[in-house]
Structure 1
Amino acid sequence: GLLRQYFPKRTDLSGYSQADLDKVALRLNQRPRKTLGFETPESRLQATVAMTH
C-alpha cells in the first residue's frame, strides 16, 4: 500500500526514529483519498470527533 512509497518491502522500521515515522504518518493522513470522497483521513476524523462533542 501507501507505506511502500516511503518504506520498501522488508524494511526494518527499527532503523527509523519515532519522529521519522510520525512524519510519514502525518503525510499519509493529510493525503486526500478517493474512497473518502477526496477528503483526507485527518479531516474525516476531525469531523467525526466533532459530531460526538
Structure 2
Amino acid sequence: VEMQARLGATCLLGFSFLLLVTSSDGHSGLGKGFGDHIHWRTLEDGKREAAARPY
C-alpha cells in the first residue's frame, strides 16, 4: 500500500510539473506555434520562384 501511495504521489508531482511548464505564457519563446518562423508564400509565388531557378 505504501508503494502505491508513493507511486501516486510521484505521478501527481510529475503531472503538476508538466502543467507548470506547459502553461507558461510564452515569454521565454516556448509559446510559439507551428509555422511562426516560416516565410509563407502563395502557390503562384512558388511557381514563379521555381521557374526562375536555373536548375
TM-score using structure 1 length: 0.33
Look at both structures and tell me which one has the larger radius of gyration over its CA atoms: 2
TM-score using structure 2 length: 0.32
Structure with more of its chain in helix, by fraction: 1
